[in-house]
């Protein structure tokens, strides 16, 4: 009897040791240095501001009479926070809202502007007090490129052509004269234009063949005048794995009329049962990570189609909507899509940004949905209060990759196992900036196991290494208005860097960025 108990205990010890040994197996990451490596476009780190819930009104825009400190009605704390992120572009006014928005309703005297009912998001009535001038002036203040989504669903060709002229034309014309009457002498020079949004759904429920023809009709009348290099036209692209949509657009739209094709993918486990924003379990978390990892497959397969029709890679892939999507926070308007932002969102952000970086040859822009108070927001507000989310901190940590040269990597990721399924636990991307600083970003989605890695960095000639880590005790942890700094990056020194060899263990569900200098 005693012998059987002893053998059982010994078996448990051996099994436990075996599991630990497997978890602690070192992952060797190899540099695939190449003189032809692409630049990681800063526009991969773009953002999205739709007229949805409290993103614009009560988010960005409080009005110039508000007691909250503001610049022309836009909150100064939000401006400062987004400047810190160095956001390269901002997409507006939608989203689904774009194809119901008539831009001329948002210019001129405030008391003469018509109202609009936001039929997509909550059925609220908006007064059009935030319009073209507000948005484009905000982008100037942020140092960000505006990305305007044109109304193709319910707007006409002339309406979009007039918007282009209003924002861009320097000379004398009906629209440039109107712009001057409204207080803006010089044009803004808007380069990035989306030709409708989700034309397969809320943008008109079109077939791809029909949309391709509509696209060509609209862009024919959009003048390239007064924008260096011409305007950059982005077609409404596929949802998720609708590869036929990409095929039809690439086949039917001439390359001289097309600079980018969009792709939308959200990390949502079930559109009918999205799961809670905070009180989720590991089963929900694993399913969310599975959907997030799908971004890799989608980019690979959509770009393979693009390669078939565009061997010279003249057309870019634009992932202009991505992020986590859950049930709204308890007690909030279902149409406002307000959700909290936990360590799960940090995992989504770190994983997807690594994926985008590693596909920088085709992915030239991406827009996290959305900037303030909507979906995977980087900023949340409550009246005069404002907090920065874990996603904000990941974007801030990763901004070092903007316009840096990609350093391709290769490795076999350890697996995050759960309930007889498994996913790669680790995503990594690396780059070298104009000052020869090297940055390596790691995201480990495993809930229990740290991931030891080893990298030979000798060929980069680095002499010193520093680090920043975003982590927390629980996946469900988040910053609240009562505890706004619960999750924020911390200095990280728990690594070995000697004779060009880096050894470090990435903690469970964490994001780590290391910086190496010569």
Asked if the structure places residue 14 within a domain, the reply is no
Say if residues 453 and 28 touch (Cβ distance below 8 Å): yes
- Look at residue 24 in the predicted model and tell me its pLDDT: 65
| Residue partners of 58: CB distance under 8 A and separation at least 6 | 373, 381
CATH number at residue 500: 2.60.40.1180
- Look at residue 23 in the predicted model and tell me its pLDDT: 46
164/150 same-domain check: yes
Rounded Cα distance, 128 and 144, in Å? 22
132/180 same-domain check: yes
pTM: 0.94
161/209 same-domain check: yes
Helix pair 76-85, 132-142: axis angle to 10 deg: 50
| Residue partners of 116: CB distance under 8 A and separation at least 6 | 100, 101, 102, 105, 125, 126, 128
Asked if the structure places residue 2 within a domain, the reply is no
The Cα angle at residue 170 between residues 168 and 175, in degrees rounded to 5: 65
Adjacent-strand bridge partners of 92: 148
Does residue 95 have a cis bond before it (omega within 30 degrees)? yes
Boundary (domain end) residue, out of 369, 404, 439: 404
| Alpha-carbon 247 to chain mean position | 24
Asked if the structure places residue 1 within a domain, the reply is no
Asked if the structure places residue 238 within a domain, the reply is yes
Catalytic status, residue 321: yes
Asked if the structure places residue 380 within a domain, the reply is yes
Rounded Cα distance, 273 and 75, in Å? 34
Rounded Cα distance, 260 and 363, in Å? 9
Both tokens of 334, joined, read: 């279902």
Q: What is the bridge-based pairing of β-strands 409-410 and 27-31?
A: antiparallel
Say if residues 374 and 52 touch (Cβ distance below 8 Å): yes
Say if residues 64 and 73 touch (Cβ distance below 8 Å): yes
445/353 same-domain check: no
Q: What is the bridge-based pairing of β-strands 379-382 and 363-368?
A: unpaired
265/124 same-domain check: yes
Write the DSSP symbol of residue 27: E
452/370 same-domain check: no
145/227 same-domain check: yes
What total number of domains does the chain contain? 2
Burial class (CB in 10 A: 0-12, 13-18, 19+), 482: exposed
Asked if the structure places residue 110 within a domain, the reply is yes
95/52 same-domain check: yes
Catalytic residue selected from 145, 321, 327, 503: 321
Catalytic status, residue 198: yes
Say if residues 438 and 430 touch (Cβ distance below 8 Å): yes
Boundary (domain end) residue, out of 386, 404, 422: 404
466/367 same-domain check: no
Catalytic residue selected from 50, 126, 145, 198: 198
Structural domain harbouring 459: 23-36+408-517
373/474 same-domain check: no
Q: What is the bridge-based pairing of β-strands 145-150 and 409-410?
A: unpaired
Say if residues 464 and 517 touch (Cβ distance below 8 Å): yes
CATH number at residue 58: 3.20.20.80
Burial class (CB in 10 A: 0-12, 13-18, 19+), 451: buried
pLDDT tens per residue across all 518 residues of the chain: 333 333 333 233 323 333 333 446 899 999 987 778 999 999 999 999 999 999 999 999 999 999 999 999 999 999 999 999 999 999 999 999 999 999 999 999 999 999 999 999 999 999 999 999 999 999 999 999 999 999 999 999 999 999 999 999 999 999 999 999 999 999 999 999 999 999 999 999 999 999 999 999 999 999 988 888 899 999 999 999 999 999 999 999 999 999 999 999 999 999 999 999 999 999 999 999 999 999 999 999 999 999 999 999 999 999 999 999 999 999 999 999 999 999 999 999 999 999 999 999 999 999 999 999 999 999 999 999 999 999 999 999 999 999 999 999 999 999 999 999 999 999 999 999 999 999 999 999 999 999 999 999 999 999 999 999 999 999 999 999 999 999 999 999 999 999 999 999 999 999 999 999 99
276/416 same-domain check: no
Asked if the structure places residue 9 within a domain, the reply is no
448/343 same-domain check: no
| Residue partners of 210: CB distance under 8 A and separation at least 6 | none
User: In 3D, which of 297, 287, 234 has the Cα closest to residue 265?
Assistant: 297
Boundary (domain end) residue, out of 375, 404, 433: 404
Asked if the structure places residue 326 within a domain, the reply is yes
H/E run at residue 506: strand 501-506
Q: What is the bridge-based pairing of β-strands 232-239 and 260-267?
A: parallel
- Look at residue 228 in the predicted model and tell me its pLDDT: 86
């Amino acid at each position: 009897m005693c012998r059987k108990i002893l053998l059982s205990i010994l078996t448990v010890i051996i099994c436990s040791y075996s599991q630990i040994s497997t978890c602690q197996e070192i992952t060797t990451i190899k540099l695939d240095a190449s003189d032809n490596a692409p630049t990681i476009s800063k526009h991969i780190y773009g953002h999205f501001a739709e007229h949805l819930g409290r993103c614009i009104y009560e988010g960005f825009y409080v009005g110039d009479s508000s007691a909250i400190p503001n610049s022309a009605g836009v909150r100064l704390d939000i401006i400062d926070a987004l400047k810190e992120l160095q956001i390269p572009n901002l997409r507006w006014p939608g989203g689904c809202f774009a194809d119901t928005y008539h831009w001329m309703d948002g210019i001129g005297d405030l008391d003469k502007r018509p109202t609009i009912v936001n039929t997509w998001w909550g059925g609220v009535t908006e007064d059009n007090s935030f319009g073209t001038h507000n948005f484009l002036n905000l982008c100037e203040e942020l140092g960000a490129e505006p990305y305007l989504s044109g109304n193709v669903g319910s707007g006409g060709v002339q309406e979009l052509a007039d918007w282009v002229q209003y924002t861009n034309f320097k000379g004398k014309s009906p629209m440039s004269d109107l712009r001057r009457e409204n207080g803006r002498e010089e044009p803004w020079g808007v380069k990035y234009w989306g030709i409708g949004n989700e034309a397969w759904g809320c943008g008109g429920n079109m077939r791809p063949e029909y949309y391709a023809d509509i696209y060509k009709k609209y862009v024919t009348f959009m003048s390239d005048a007064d924008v260096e290099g011409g305007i950059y036209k982005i077609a409404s692209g596929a949802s998720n794995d609708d590869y036929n949509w990409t095929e039809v657009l690439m086949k039917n739209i001439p390359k001289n009329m097309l600079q980018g094709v969009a792709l939308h993918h959200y990390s949502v486990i079930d559109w009918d049962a999205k799961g809670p924003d905070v009180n989720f379990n590991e089963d929900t978390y694993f399913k969310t990570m599975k959907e997030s990892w799908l971004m890799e497959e989608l980019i690979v397969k959509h770009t393979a189609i693009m390669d078939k029709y565009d061997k010279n890679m003249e057309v870019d892939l634009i992932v202009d909507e991505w992020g986590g999507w859950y049930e709204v926070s308890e007690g909030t308007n279902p149409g406002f899509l307000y959700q909290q932002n936990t360590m799960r969102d940090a995992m989504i952000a770190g994983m997807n940004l690594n994926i985008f970086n590693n596909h920088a040859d085709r992915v030239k822009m991406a827009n996290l949905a959305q900037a303030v108070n909507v979906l995977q927001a980087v900023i949340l507000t409550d009246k005069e209060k404002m907090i920065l989310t874990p996603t904000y901190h990941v974007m801030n940590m990763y901004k070092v990759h903007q316009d840096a040269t990609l350093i391709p990597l290769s490795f076999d990721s350890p697996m995050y196992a759960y309930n007889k399924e498994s996913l790669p636990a680790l995503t990594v991307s690396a780059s070298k900036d104009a000052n020869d600083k090297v940055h390596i970003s790691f995201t480990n989605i495993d809930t229990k196991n740290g991931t030891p890695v080893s990298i030979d960095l000798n060929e980069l000639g680095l002499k010193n290494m520093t680090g920043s880590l975003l982590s927390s005790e629980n996946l469900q942890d988040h910053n609240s208005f009562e505890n706004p700094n619960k999750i924020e990056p911390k200095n990280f020194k728990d690594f070995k860097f000697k004779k060009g060899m880096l050894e470090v263990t990435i903690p469970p569900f964490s994001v780590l960025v290391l910086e190496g200098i010569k």
